Amino acid sequence: MSRPSPTPVLGHDGALPEGEEKHQAVEAMFDRVAPGYERMNRIISLGLDKRWRRRAIQALDVAPGARVLDLACGTGDLCRDLAAAGCPAVGVDFSAGMLAAARVPSPLVRGDAAALPFDDGAFDGVACGFALRNFVDLDEVFCEVARVLRPGGRFVALDAAVPEQLVMRLGNAVWFRGAVPVLGRLLSREPSAYRYLPRSTAYLPDGPELIVTLERAGFAAVTRQTLTGGSVQLLAGARA
């Protein structure tokens, strides 16, 4: 019996999936890319991903030994960096393939960011690296993050952004939308993923709307800063 074809992450016309179709397609995509995911991240980010994670951990601003959740932990890069900073984290991800490929000292849990399997106020901090655009409903996810944080607990999230400055925006487009899909074809067994990832920034609201969405979910003192010429954004806030 032949195996069923994997759920395509892009439609035949190149359209991005929505709703439950997005959930299933993105989960299946990450299951397939998991074995080579970290290597491709290093290449695509030109090695800058380590610097971005350090900035996120600084913005998280929790004491050593704090209870931290790595939301959409993937193969565990951020979990390892948090552990090195004295904050061993619990990792959660909906992709079984990602969790199977992770090599981390942290406990890992399979779960949906929109229905986290943790008690209210269970964590002092929540960190999320480059996953916001893969969630189906950011309002639901941010409300869940607020629920599992104690009052005053911190949330930080890294994700891609489109630079405002024209030269940087053009350079970002050449690399992210031009070179990255080519690298995906050459270096990955799942080239469609590297067509999807640059286009998936279309799911993200603009900066002011992201801030409002976090505030609506119960966060205060929300900030947004951009890194690397505006190609990456770092959101931070505290549960009210």
Dihedrals phi, psi of 139, to nearest 5 degrees: -60, -45
Sign, CA torsion 66/71/117/98 = negative
Q: Under a CB-based contact definition with an 8 Å cutoff, are residues 56 and 234 in contact? A: yes
Q: Under a CB-based contact definition with an 8 Å cutoff, are residues 215 and 222 in contact? A: yes
- Examine residue 226 and state whether it is found in any structural domain, yes or no: yes
Q: Which residues are registered as beta bridge partners of 71?
A: 92, 128
- Examine residue 217 and state whether it is found in any structural domain, yes or no: yes
The three-class DSSP label of residue 78 is helix
**Which range of residues forms the domain containing residue 142?**
19-239
> Tokens 């565990």 belong to which residue?
76
The count of domains in the chain is: 1
Longest dimension (CA), the chain: 56
pTM of the model: 0.93
- Residue 75: which of 118, 25, 33, 127 has the closest Cα? 33
CA distance 133 to 130: 7
- Examine residue 111 and state whether it is found in any structural domain, yes or no: yes
- Examine residue 11 and state whether it is found in any structural domain, yes or no: no
Burial (CB < 10 A; 0-12, 13-18, 19+), residue 3, is exposed
The mean pLDDT values, 10 residues at a time, for the chain of 240 residues are 50 80 94 94 95 98 96 97 94 97 94 98 98 97 98 98 93 92 90 90 95 98 97 98
For residue 158, the domain's CATH number is 3.40.50.150
- Examine residue 165 and state whether it is found in any structural domain, yes or no: yes
- Examine residue 79 and state whether it is found in any structural domain, yes or no: yes
- Examine residue 9 and state whether it is found in any structural domain, yes or no: no
Provide the pLDDT for residue 4.
Answer: 38
Q: Under a CB-based contact definition with an 8 Å cutoff, are residues 154 and 236 in contact? A: yes
> CA triplet 151, 111, 234: central angle to 5 degrees?
55
Amino acid, single-letter form, for residue 80? R
Provide the pLDDT for residue 33.
Answer: 94
CA distance 5 to 64: 46
- Examine residue 10 and state whether it is found in any structural domain, yes or no: no
